[in-house]
Amino acid sequence: MKRTNLITAIILLVIMTGCGGDEQSEDGIITVDVTKRYPQKELILQDIFDVEYIPLDDADEYVTSGSIQSIGKNIIAVRNVGIDMTGDIFLFDRKGQGLRKINRKGQGPGEYQTPGNIVLDEDNNEMFVVNLAGGGMLVYDLFGNFKRSFKKIGELIFTVVANFDRDHLIFYSGDRNIVNGNIEGTRNQFFIMNKKDGSIIKEIEIPFNEKKWALFIDTDNRPYTIYNRLLMPLPHSHWIIAEVSSDTIYSILPDYSLSPFIARTPSIQSMNPEVFLFPGVISDRYYFMQTVKKIYDVSTNEWPRTDLVYDRQEKALFEYVVYNDDYLSKKPVKLILDNRPVEFALNNEIPFCIRLEAYELVEAYRNGELKEGRLKEIVSTLDPESNPVIMLVKHRK
């Protein structure tokens, strides 16, 4: 592993030297100066992706204020959150029709105390459910019948889980403990897991020097965390992973090897306060990302953020706004998860989706804010108490 780290460091040194700050190297890797300001760019969502709207079934047994957890070829998995966290898991087809409601909440064998991240595996007719309260993971078939469970692995936490391939999951562990104001945790936070027995077959080692943490601890020892996504799918195949302590965002290949994808400057190791670089949605042309400065305003619950995009065609970086063209007014869309209602279903077909609340859509319809088209047609049949409409954003084939 030391030899691998040395080779990676040499590659990055060449990249950083040759890029002059923000240029693209010959092998396609870009370098982002996280301290610079960039020119503004306006984009239209529908010019980049295919957009599909799915109204969720309004039958009484499927009423949910929940979160989109996973989207397969034929099924959408939703779970309730917040005060509605009853343990219900709802399965809809890709047209939004309710298939079934599953609830295995309890403390007995084959039951979860509080369901967390859910991953659909339609190839194997299975569904993986993280048990938030008790740790570990449970596996059910797509009708809710219990099949097996995986125990908690040491102090690891299944923070974000996704299908890596037919036989394996990839997950990010948000493992951390705060003791007397000091943060403790494992060095490596990305793992490949066997779907059959829950064993860890690969601990992914990202090279860096000193561990950095994307959180602020106040004088009362209370942590405030930057909740940006660190695991994102690439179009059509593969994944990118980000470790905030590293100066490089990597893609992880099918053989679990790492390839540099985006480099940053100045080094995170030299900054105080740190400016973190997080990946957002990646399309064939655009790399969306965000910088976050480690200065937390407790009164507003805000961190200083800058949305960036790299345009592969223009070979340039911009600050950006993306608008949804199904609105007459300029309706911005976020392409990075930063405490806003963006749902990352985490697969290579659908980089993200957004839950559109019925009452907001109905208000927009009544105010004449929607263009003629599929969204307006759907909203014309809704009332404010209807289930959400899911906006699927898909890569073009």
Give the Cα-Cα-Cα angle 377, 383, 386 (nearest 5 degrees): 95
Confidence class of residue 344 from pLDDT cuts 50, 70 and 90? low
Q: Count other Cβ atoms within 10 Å, centred on residue 200.
A: 13
Confidence class of residue 35 from pLDDT cuts 50, 70 and 90? very high
- For residues 28 and 310, the answer to whether their CB atoms sit within 8 Å is no
- For residues 109 and 116, the answer to whether their CB atoms sit within 8 Å is no
96 residue type, one letter: G
- CATH T-level fold of 21-394: Methylamine Dehydrogenase; Chain H (2.130.10)
- Sequence-separated (6 or more) residues with CB below 8 Å from residue 129: 89, 104, 112, 115, 116, 117, 118, 137, 138, 139, 140
Cα–Cα distance, 340 to 83 (Å, whole number): 18
Residue among 146, 70, 137 at smallest CA distance from 102: 146
Considering only residues 107 and 1, tell me which one the structure prediction assigns the higher pLDDT.
Answer: 107
The mean of the pLDDT values for the chain is: 87
Percent of the chain residues topping a pLDDT of 90: 66
18 pLDDT higher than 50: no
What would the pLDDT profile of 247-303 be if each residue is shown by its tens digit?
999 999 999 999 999 999 999 999 999 999 999 999 999 999 999 999 988 888 889
Residue among 334, 330, 331 at smallest CA distance from 320: 334
Backbone angles phi, psi at 18, to 5 degrees: -80, -20
- Sequence-separated (6 or more) residues with CB below 8 Å from residue 14: 25
Confidence class of residue 83 from pLDDT cuts 50, 70 and 90? low
| 17 membership: H or E segment, kind and range | helix 2-19
Cα–Cα distance, 380 to 118 (Å, whole number): 32
What would the pLDDT profile of 332-343 be if each residue is shown by its tens digit?
998 887 655 556
99 pLDDT higher than 60: yes
User: What are the residue ranges spanned by the domains of the chain?
Assistant: 21-394
14 pLDDT higher than 80: no
Report pTM.
Answer: 0.88
Confidence class of residue 5 from pLDDT cuts 50, 70 and 90? very low
Residue among 171, 278, 283 at smallest CA distance from 236: 283
Size of the chain, expressed as the number of residues it contains: 397
61 CA to centre of own chain: 28
